[in-house]
Every structure is written in C-alpha cells, then in structure tokens.
Structure 1
Amino acid sequence: MILVSFHAHPDDEALLTGGTLARAAAEGHRVVLVVATLGGAGLAADPRGEALAARRHRELLASAAALGCARVEVLGYDDSGLDGAHPAARRFADAPAEQAAHRLAAILRAERADVLTSYDVHGGYGHPDHLAVHRVGARAAELADVPVVLEATIDRDSLRLLLRALGLARRWLPALPLGDAVFTPRAEITHSVDVRRYLPQKRAALRAHVSQGEGGRGPRTITTLLRLPGPLFTLVAGREWFVQRGEHPAGLRSPFLEPAG
C-alpha cells in the first residue's frame, strides 16, 4: 500500500497522524509526506519569516525520519496565519483550489497512491490553511483517482470528556474552541486507529518540532503533550481518528484501514 499524507504545516503531521504514519511504515507500507507550507507565520520565540520557515523545514525532515516516511514534498505556498491575514504573496488559503489540487495530484499519480490523508470538513479547528487542505485534498484525490481518502480529525466527544476529566481545558489548548464547528463527533468517525505501539515514534516526531514548543502567549500543545507522563500520554495520544471518503478497494489490506467498531 502507498499512503500519501497531506498537511498544512510542519508539526501537523506529528500531532494528527504521527502514530498512523509510523504504524503504516512499520507494517511495510510506503509513506509519503506532503505539506502545503513551511509554517513561516507560526508562533516561535524568534519568528523571522523565511528564517523560521527554513528552521521548520529542517524540523519537518527530522519528524518524517522519525516516523519512517520514504519521501517528503513541500508544495511551496506561504503560511496564511491563524486568522488568515499573514502578509505573504502566496498564502495557501488564497491559492486557487484547482491549481493546488493539480500539484498534489501529480505527486499522487507518480506514487500511484492507494490512500490519501487530508483533514475533515472543519479543517480540524478552522485554521484557513487546514480548510484549504480539506478542499485541495478532496479535489486532488478525484483528479488522481485515489480510491480512499481518510480525513484526519479528533473525536470531539472524547476530547471534551478527556479535557473535562483532566482539568486541562484551559491549560492544554487555551485558544481552541470546542463547539460544534471543530473536529468531528464520534458518530461520524469511520476509523479509530490504535497507535499505542508507535508512541515512541510519535514522541520523537513531536520533539523534532522544537520551534513550536517555544514562544506564544500561553502553553503550546506540543510542549504540554511532551510533558505528560507515559500513561497519560498514552491515554491522550494513543489513538488517532479519520473520516473515510470513498470505498475500501478490494485487495487493500491493512489493520488500521478496518472501520472503527
């Protein structure tokens, strides 16, 4: 099986799909990582535009190596920023979806991809670049005839319960709303992937994104996750979720592609 995983920025691959990519690679599948931008508008202790993008590129390559990815591609768009207002010439959120989809489709065709991962219809938590990943990924899969699209998401119901139980709602993701316009309710999730055996690889991928553990006005998600003790990290990060678009093709066999029970 050939799996292409499409993301908006470096670190998204580790946060949303790190365990799944590591599991796929460990099971002998070819894993290709594609990012639309290098995250030049991301928060960091010393954000310096292109300098930050270059730093995040190095971090992306280190993360991909930790996860076992066979190839890494960058589409070269500019990070749009969380509010979509980052001043850049080629913001991904502004890119014509058809044009960007053709660029991604070229990679999908060259790889003869069996599976594409992108993002759910909400773009996770609504980042403009994440919403663009959803649109571009769906169209690219059509252009390249990729049989299965798995849209990375989080089980919204489980996340609410977990944050309430742990008392971390304000400390872990302080800027993230948990209303009905983010992530995906449990009833709509088609794949719940057990990645507990691959948490060392996921931790290593998260650690690679050093710049995203720095700066900002409050605790950063990566920093907080990496500070969790082993059992709690397993509880929080030991499962990843997807919404499948398209049919499960005959002959495509992998345990993590089996529908959630």
Structure 2
Amino acid sequence: MATLVFLHAHPDDEASQTGGTMALAGELGHRVVWICCTDGSQGTRSGETDESVAEVRRREARASAEVLGVDRLVFLDHLDSGMHGWDSNANPDAFMNADPLEVGRDVARLLDEEDADVLIGYDWHGNYGHPDHIMVHKVMNAAADLAARRPRLLQSTMNRDAIRAGYDPENKAGFDPDAPADDGNPVGTPEAEIAWKVNVNEVVMLKREALAAHASQEDAAQLIAMPEGFFALAFRHEYYIEDGVSPMREAWPF
C-alpha cells in the first residue's frame, strides 16, 4: 500500500478534481493525505452564519475529508488570491505571491513525515488558469525536489479532447474547452499528453457527497444541482499527467 499526498489550492478543489481517486484510494487501503494550501477566503460568502468565509470553508473541508476517507488533512492557511484579475491578487500575502520554494519546504516536511510515495498536484496552468492553482504546480515541483525521498508526481488535469467531444458549437451546448480560460489558455490538456484515465464510477456519488459538503460555494452548488445520472456521466473519470507515461491508459495508477 502507498501513501498518496494530494496538494490542493482551496477547499472544494479536492472534491471536484480528485475526489473519486481519493475515495477509491482509501477503499483500497492506501493512506490518503490532503494538503489544502489556502484559506478559501475569497469564496462565496454565506449570509446564514456569523462565521468568516475562511471558517466556513475549513468546516466544510473537514466534512468533505470525512466523506472521502482522508486520513490526514493539513491546512497551510495562505490567503486565497481570488480569481485572475481580482483586486485580491495584489495582496502581498496572497498565495499566488508566495515564494514557491518556501512553501515547497513546508510541503516537503510533510512529505518526509509521511514518507510519501506519490504527490498529486495540478498541471502547469492549474487546469484553467486560476493563479492559486498555478502556484500549486510550482510548489508541487519544489516540494518533490526538496523531499528526502522524491515521490512520484502526478498532475490532475482535464481531458480537453473529451470535453470537446461533448460540445456542440452550433447550438452552444456544453462547454467549449478551446475558449480562453482565466489565463487566456484553453482548459485542461490534450489527451495525447495525459497518462492516466481513472474510472471512479463506483465512488462517483461519494464525490458528489463531498461536493455537497461545500454547499456554501456557488460553484459546488451548481455541480450538485445536476441530476444524479448526468453528474455520474460527467464526473466518472479523472485524468492525470505523469512524465514518461504515454499513451493514455485507463487504469488505476497506484
């Protein structure tokens, strides 16, 4: 059995991007560690509580971790940078402005504590250009270089070709993966650059339940509003890049 460390930018990223893999890994007996880099404070504010956004999101993260069978959840508590172009980007304490090596040292210490076999982060542009997701990619690489035992690196991504296959440009139905995302690049990664297609169908409803734990957030609420059958079809696969592994194979990577 292996120790898998998942490095995510915000509470709810774990559910939407790697929730199925995390749940499957736990069920198969692997140790699952989730490191949450930011406090999520730029997320949706709820009027139903006196808690701060960061407090709500920390509570929701713990609930999601319980659903997914996470063995250890660590909060690094860097300030959420917000989306690309927001005023919050200019805050010198925002995660996007951190020193990747400094944060990488913190993550490397956790990797050493866990004697981690695998570190899972994001692709080079964080799937869709979110500045905190891009920073996760930088920190992931720095941490792997600094760890006493270098872990395997997997990068969570979206399959641009699979998304394109479901898009109807004539009727504008579905999502156009070739349209510019936050950083001006199209979302995800071409299938030719992806190593692993992980079928998470047997735990996809756990993924949905984990997203439901983040109900204060508009993005999560929109996803769980999908009919269950459509959600299962849309989220039954998760994709990962791994250097030196090609072509893409549908298999369990661990």
Q: What interval of TM-score do these two structures reach, taking the shorter chain for normalisation?
A: 0.7 to 0.9
| Pair 1:156-2:160 in alignment | yes
Measured after TM superposition, the shift of residue 175 of structure 1 is: 9.4
Q: Which amino acid aligns with 1:20?
A: T
What is the TM-score with the length of structure 1 in the denominator? 0.84
Q: Give the Cα separation in 2 of the matches to 1:108 and 1:46.
A: 38
| Pair 1:192-2:197 in alignment | yes
Superposed, 1:163-202 pairs within 5 Å as 163-164=167-168, 167-169=173-175, 176=181, 180-202=185-207
For the structure 1 residues 130 and 38, does the alpha-carbon distance in structure 2 shift closer, same or farther, using more than 3 Å as the test?
same
- Show CA shifts across 1:54-90 (max 9, x none): 1000000000110000000011210011025316452
For the structure 1 residues 127 and 47, does the alpha-carbon distance in structure 2 shift closer, same or farther, using more than 3 Å as the test?
farther
| Pair 1:137-2:146 in alignment | no
- The CA RMSD measured in Å over matched residues stands at 2.6
Structure 2 unaligned residues grouped into runs of 5+: 246-250
Measured after TM superposition, the shift of residue 49 of structure 1 is: 11
Q: Give the Cα separation in 2 of the matches to 1:102 and 1:85.
A: 28
| Pair 1:117-2:120 in alignment | yes
Secondary structure in structure 1 of the residue aligned to 2:73: strand
Superposed, 1:27-38 pairs within 5 Å as 27-38=28-39
Q: Give the Cα separation in 2 of the matches to 1:226 and 1:5.
A: 22
**Higher RCO by CA contacts (8 Å cutoff, separation 6 or greater):** 1
Secondary structure in structure 1 of the residue aligned to 2:217: helix
- State the match for 2:108 in structure 1: 105
- Show CA shifts across 1:111-156 (max 9, x none): 0000010000111100110000000001101111333111001001
Q: Give the Cα separation in 2 of the matches to 1:257 and 1:31.
A: 14
| Pair 1:243-2:248 in alignment | no
Structure 1 unaligned residues grouped into runs of 5+: 214-219, 248-254
Q: Which amino acid aligns with 1:13?
A: E
What is the TM-score with the length of structure 2 in the denominator? 0.86
Q: Which amino acid aligns with 2:154?
A: L
> Is the CA contact (8 Å cut-off) linking 1:79 and 1:92 kept in structure 2?
yes
| Pair 1:20-2:21 in alignment | yes
> Is the CA contact (8 Å cut-off) linking 1:149 and 1:246 kept in structure 2?
no
| Pair 1:257-2:253 in alignment | yes
> Is the CA contact (8 Å cut-off) linking 2:46 and 2:53 kept in structure 1?
no
| Higher helix residue share | 1
- State the match for 2:248 in structure 1: none
Secondary structure in structure 1 of the residue aligned to 2:33: strand
Q: Give the Cα separation in 1 of the matches to 2:183 and 2:50.
A: 30
- Show CA shifts across 1:94-126 (max 9, x none): 111110000000000000000010000111100
- State the match for 2:210 in structure 1: 205
- Show CA shifts across 1:176-208 (max 9, x none): 579754311111000100000011210110000
| Pair 1:85-2:81 in alignment | no
- State the match for 1:229 in structure 2: 227
Worse overlay, 79-88 or 177-186: 177-186
- Show CA shifts across 1:197-228 (max 9, x none): 01121011000001113xxxxxx3x2232122
> Is the CA contact (8 Å cut-off) linking 2:33 and 2:72 kept in structure 1?
yes
Number of residue-to-residue matches in the alignment: 241
Identity of aligned residues (%): 39
> Is the CA contact (8 Å cut-off) linking 1:6 and 1:117 kept in structure 2?
yes
Q: Give the Cα separation in 2 of the matches to 1:246 and 1:168.
A: 32
Q: Which amino acid aligns with 1:78?
A: L
Measured after TM superposition, the shift of residue 46 of structure 1 is: 4.5
> Is the CA contact (8 Å cut-off) linking 2:121 and 2:140 kept in structure 1?
yes
Q: Give the Cα separation in 2 of the matches to 1:177 and 1:162.
A: 21
> Is the CA contact (8 Å cut-off) linking 1:116 and 1:146 kept in structure 2?
no
> Is the CA contact (8 Å cut-off) linking 1:156 and 1:178 kept in structure 2?
no
